[in-house]
Amino acid sequence: MQQDRPYRSFWILTACWFVILIFFRLFPSIDIGFSRLFYSTSACPPGGVAGQCGMFALGEIPFFVFIRTVLYYLPVVAAIALVASLLVPALDRRLDWPEISRRNRLVALGAWLLDAGLIVNVLLKAYSGRPRPADTSIFSGSLPFVPAGSFSGACTSNCSFISGEAASAGWLFCLLALLPAHARRWVIWPVVTLSVLTALLRVFFGRHFLSDAILAWLSAIIVFELLAAIFGWSERATKDESSPA
């Protein structure tokens, strides 16, 4: 019965993903309004259009830029740690992960490569055509706004739909499933906070709309559950780690 859980989760989350996408397509003003909360207007230079000059101020503050840089590399560090645990037997023994959890780690690593690597950065961001908020005429840019899921925008590469960093942040949240229950209780809220903050900072900086961040974050969990369903996920691995010898 537990083997069916990833399949059920995959289909439920996929349905939620499309419901959220449809919601933002029907109400695109939510994307615009949320981004506008972090946009500061300023006086226009000669030739500028009044009311269309300004910037996303948080993206210009060194402290927030530093935080974003640190958060950007967290999933990369986590992925390197997973690869190391799979390739270096001594490290695997030191971490005391049972052999049965090796499949779980491969599933987790594969989910990151497939979602953030292939689906988001290679396919969607390259061909979606959705301009980033700061590139639209609403926020001092030159390109027209298009709603989430529209592939008719004027962006030609590295576009807004969906966020690669938010997808990696969602994957970081998925890694909680690798931890034994007693360890998970200690780190769940810090990991959730960092994961959500990573996604939101892209919105605060004007690099993605709210829909881009939410859909990307959720996409990581969907792909994670899909691979767990296809290749299997050992629930016993985390139980064994948390039980006394």
Query: pLDDT, tens digit, for every residue of 34-72?
Result: 999 999 986 666 655 545 678 899 999 999 999 999 999
Query: What pLDDT, in 10s, does the model give residues 110-132?
Result: 999 999 999 999 999 999 999 99
| pLDDT score recorded for residue 110 | 96
Tokens describing residue 129: 């055509």
Q: Domain span at residue 106? A: 2-42+54-242
> Is 117 within a domain?
yes
Let me know if residue 94 belongs to a domain. yes
Closest Cα partner for 172 from 154, 187, 159? 187
- The verdict on residue 48 lying in a domain is no
∠ Cα 224 229 232 (to 5°): 100
pLDDT given at position 180 = 84
Is residue 188 domain-resident? yes
pTM above 0.85, yes or no: yes
CB atoms < 10 A from the CB of 45, how many? Answer: 7
Distance between CA atoms of 99 and 104, rounded to whole angstroms?
Answer: 10
Residues of the chain with pLDDT under 70: 1-4, 42-52, 89-100, 235-245
Residue 109 lies in a domain: yes
pLDDT of residue 23: 98
Distances (CA, A) of 158 to 39, 119, 200: 21, 13, 18
Q: Is residue 112 part of a domain?
A: yes
**Number of domains composing the chain:** 1
**3-class DSSP string for 107-167:** HHHHHHHHHHHHHHHHHHHHHCCCCCHHHEHHHCCCECCCCCCCCCCCCCCCCCCCCHHHH
In a domain, 47, yes or no: no
Q: Give a yes or no: residue 97 inside a domain.
A: yes
What pLDDT does residue 212 have?
Answer: 98
pLDDT of residue 89: 64
